[in-house]
Amino acid sequence: MPTALFSVYDKERHLPFAAELSQLGWRLMASEGTARALRAAGLQVDSVAAFTGSPEILDGRVKTFHPAVYAGILAQARPQDFSDLARVNAALIDLVVVDLPLVQPQPGHEPAALIESINVGGVELLRAAAKNFRRVTVVVDPTDLPQVLAEIRSAGQCGTATRKRLAVKAFRHVAAYDAGAADVLESLGE
pLDDT by residue (tens digit) across 132-171? 999 999 999 999 999 999 999 999 999 999 999 999 999 9
CATH of residue 34 = 3.40.50.1380
d(CA 17, CA 28): 11
* pTM for this entry: 0.89
CA torsion sign for 168, 170, 173, 178 is: negative
Interhelix angle for 121-131 vs 160-187, to 10°?
Answer: 150
Residue 6's H or E segment, with its range, is strand 3-8
Residue 81: CB partners within 8 Å, gap ≥ 6?
75
**How many independent structural domains does the chain possess?**
1
Q: Which domain holds residue 36?
A: 3-187
Average pLDDT on 36-60 reads 82
